[in-house]
A and B are shown apart, each in its own frame.
Chain A
């Protein structure tokens, strides 16, 4: 395990979060606290609400009730400037979400330039360094459609990093990838974990969970049924639903 420091500063708290889509109760009162430097994996069966939960955290999905507090700011409060909050919270999507009309470099530079008002040169220098960090220096001028899935996802990670977020959210970042490309993305993510980045990751990649994740949340039917150190949850789960689910996974 790379880091195991739950007693550091709380960075993101969720209090009694619920989310309904019409009559469908997807999240049924989620409470949890995420700490600086933690890498938390969220696992659970399909339809259990993992995506909904992670999308509520940066308010891409509007919660039905409950509170989300990020660095002391209640982002569920309507008067909060959500754009300012999102600057410090990166998100990586299952389907990459790169902007197809921009090159890899431009994808990374756009938000720092327009949101953080960085100069072109400053944004470009930082973007080039980030591309190097994800191993894609030679792809700066390529458009997304000219990149493989794994390369696109690495650019997407670099794009999130360009805003220097305090938390990175991932929603199944490798599940849309061909098997041979999963490794290159996980390597980047593990590198981030090693560098102390706070990460909340919806993923069933057991190797990532074992090697990089400090804590695992098990989400079933909109409720967290298990929350503990990765090793413990994976090797000796206490809840029968967790056992059943892991049985299918391993």
Chain B
């Protein structure tokens, strides 16, 4: 093998000739990643809220189940969960498409974390808020919908944005599936061209999506810090 020279690095990692004619595959991969991410973010936020509402309902049995669920999610590597769902469940004649498998696993795991965030948010709201709403004749459900949930959203937005960032990153687990999302597309091109430039380009694309989100999160956290 030739001696590696530092001047070769651009040719190896940023070789734009390699990328010629390949951008469309990379961008269609990016599109799939975004689809999985958006669907997962919406669903895990929704189910997370549901988990939180069930938790604060204070039903003993339900609470025990939900705590077990949370611990399970904390202890299970997400890629293991994905392998079980995609490669394991078919043995029970339960088969999901790669897209559905990815969404199911991401939502299952992240709804637990988002549920914890929402629960903390709702519990942080002063009891007087509920009392004021109820004393105006609002029902439990109306109090939740018009008073508690909107305030909880504001309180947990920073940690929510954090979770959403995590979800986008976790879409990369799909490389083990028969689905060409961003990282898989980069891998395919990289293998075919025998050059790592596509992988570098995919990294840059992840950063372009994620950096604005992390900056917004930071600012939300700062703003909340100022207010309290």
Contacts and interface: CB of A to CB of B under 8 A. Distances in A.
B138 A83 contact: yes
Interface string A186-204: 0000000000000000000
Interface string A107-131: 0001100110000000000000000
B147 A86 contact: no
Contacts of A163: 136-137
Nearest to A85: B137
Secondary structure of the A contact surface, majority rule: mixed
B134 A86 contact: yes
Given A100-B151, A110-B146, A114-B142, A160 B136 contact: yes
Interface string A78-103: 00000110110111010101111100
Contacts of B138: 83, 110-111, 114-115
Nearest to A61: B131
Q: Which of B137, B139, B147 has the most CB of A within 10 A?
A: B137
A90 B135 CA distance: 7
In which size bucket is the chain B interface? 10 to 19
Contacts of A90: 135-136
B73 to A, nearest CB: 30
Given A110-B146, A114-B146, A115-B142, A97 B137 contact: no
A84 to B, nearest CB: 7
Contact of A58 (B128, B129, B135): B135
Interface in A162-207: 163
Contact of B136 (A84, A100, A101, A159): A159
A60 interface: yes
Contacts of A159: 136
A156 B132 CA distance: 9
B131 A101 contact: no
B134 A60 contact: yes
Contacts of A99: 129, 132-133, 147, 151
Nearest to B139: A83
B90 interface: no
B222 to A, nearest CB: 18
A55 B128 CA distance: 12
A84 B137 contact: yes
Contacts of B150: 101
Interface of A: 55, 58, 60, 83-84, 86-87, 89-91, 93, 95, 97-101, 110-111, 114-115, 156, 159-160, 163
Given A90-B135, A97-B126, 8 more contacts: A93-B132, A97-B129, A99-B147, A101-B154, A110-B138, A111-B133, A111-B138, A115-B138
Interface of B: 126, 128-129, 131-139, 142, 146-147, 150-151, 154
In order of increasing CB-CB distance, the 4 nearest A-B pairs are: A97-B132, A87-B137, A111-B136, A91-B135
